[in-house]
């Protein structure tokens, strides 16, 4: 039986290649950066490691978000607090945050 293809994506901050499902997708919209747990929103998208706080730093996100990197960095730090890091599945993290508030 052939091995199933697993889509790979690269984190815009640390440049690590990982399976698409292990990364958190962010989309730039007219209103600013938006988290995209479904992976289907239109717009320019990028991926970030949800389990590496260094990837949420403003300086590392400038390549993707430009001037909006500060806003994006603060949003990621709020969403992905260190207590949430136990889960590496981005959809689990966003679902948990939705339930909390």
Tens digits of residue pLDDT in 36-75: 888 899 988 899 999 988 988 888 888 888 888 888 888 8
DSSP codes, 61-78 = HHHHHGGGHHHHHHHHHH
CA–CA separation, 71 vs 55, rounded Å?
14
The topology (CATH level 3) of 8-100 is: Hypothetical Cytosolic Protein; Chain: A; (3.30.1230)
- Give the CA distances from residue 1 to residues 4, 5, 6, 19, in Å, rounded to whole numbers and listed in that order: 9, 12, 15, 21
**Prediction pTM value:** 0.71
Highest-confidence range of 18-22, 52-56, 93-97, by mean pLDDT?
18-22
Mean pLDDT, range 83-87, rounded to an integer? 49
Domain boundaries defined on the chain: 8-100
Q: Tell me the two tokens of residue 81.
A: 């607090």
Task: Judge whether residue 30 has pLDDT over 70.
Answer: yes
């Amino acid at each position: 039986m052939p091995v199933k293809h697993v889509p790979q994506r690269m984190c815009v901050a640390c440049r690590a290649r990982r399976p698409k499902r292990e990364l958190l997708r962010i989309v730039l919209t007219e209103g600013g950066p938006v988290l995209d747990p479904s992976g289907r929103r239109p717009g320019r998208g990028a991926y970030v490691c949800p389990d590496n706080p260094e990837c949420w730093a403003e300086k590392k996100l400038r390549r993707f978000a430009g001037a909006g990197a500060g806003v994006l960095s603060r949003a990621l730090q709020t969403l992905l607090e260190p207590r949430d890091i136990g889960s590496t599945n981005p959809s689990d993290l966003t679902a948990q945050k939705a339930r909390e508030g």
